[in-house]
Amino acid sequence: MDALAHNPIIESYLDYLSAVRGFSENSIQSYEYDLILFFKFLKIRFNKVPKEMLFEKISYSDIDLPLLTQVQLIDLYAFLRFLSKERDNTDYGRSRKVSVLRSFFTYLCNKEHLLPHNPTDELENPKLPKHQPAYLSLEESKHLLDTIDGRNKTRDYAIITVLLNCGIRLSELTGIRINDIKEDTIRVTGKGDKQRTIYLNQAVLNALSDYLLLRKAENTIDIPWLFVSERKQQMSNRAVQHMVKKHIIKAGLDPDRISVHKLRHTAATLMYQYGHADIRSLQQILGHESVATTEIYTHLDNQSLYETIQNNPLASMQKKEDHNNKKS
């Protein structure tokens, strides 16, 4: 894409993502890429460019509010079909773009009040294949965290950060008290009232620090529970489940595939695949009685299995040449 081309509407939206919603630079670039694709598609859809023009040559700088006002639900579905047929987007890729479009048009309609209607109100996510594993990839996990928003953003971000990094159970999360946090560790109470200590990484420490500062500013720091509801009470399991589902949907992910428990599954999988955690360490972190239970979290994708075989120290060995055959 033309790095020199600009569109003031996209620029304004990206400024909002950065300044207000605190998106990372990588996420902002991803959103920009998706919107540029959409704007170029609109030029084709509304016959603003010759049919023979190469997609890469289409300018998007002149897309304005009057044209965006014309966008209807049928145009959005046409865009998703274009992504599938012409751009070879995966189901997740198209689902992510649905999330971007929802956020973009909601910004124009509800934040800036620049459009009379939101064409994404009835926009559905592409159906994801049932065979997809029930855990988030690293990319999906980052995307979920980047899209957390709303009046309880700081609390919700802290909760999901803890779930994705520590792999604790739902009941363990809601049972945490503020005094269970000691420097870089947290004490949780698992099944059978057994307690264990989990070390916290920097992402969790930062998220909890921001949340506790907010609690202090709101004069709720005296409430013993770590995570509290808007009614200033201990958050219930159901409230956390509802909150996580809301953000899963907002991120364009499948709420039927991903739940609070699947975030625990995700944490264990990421620790195993990227943190090189051994099975015994995972068992202790997750609080499993039997290591056999932990083994279900150690699935690897085909690429990991391939790399494991290729990295065998004997992989480069070759059969020595037979000297007798060589003489003959």
Residues taking part in catalysis = 169, 191, 261, 264, 288, 297
Q: How many CB atoms lie within 10 A of CB 133?
A: 13
Q: Residues in the chain, how many?
A: 328
Contact at 8 Å (CB) between 120 and 92? Answer: no
Written as six digits, the tokens of 248 are 């899963």
Residue 166 CA to residue 160 CA, distance in Å, equals 10
Closest C-alpha among 325, 263, 271, 323 to residue 300: 271
Token code pair at residue 141: 């996990």
Encoded tokens for 115: 């459009």
Q: Which amino acid is at 47?
A: N
Rounded Cα–Cα distance for residues 160 and 254 (Å): 16
d(CA 142, CA 136): 9
Q: Which residue bears the tokens 């420490």?
A: 205
Neighbouring C-alpha atoms within 13 Å toward the C-beta of 67: 17
Angle between helices 138-146 and 25-45 in degrees, nearest 10: 90
CA 147 – CA 138 distance, rounded (Å): 14
User: How far is Cα 52 from Cα 174, in angstroms, rounded to an integer?
Assistant: 58
* Dist. CA 219–CA 252, nearest whole Å: 35
Token pair recorded at residue 286: 């997750």
Cβ distance 133 to 122 under 8 Å? no
C-alpha Rg value of the chain to the nearest Å: 24
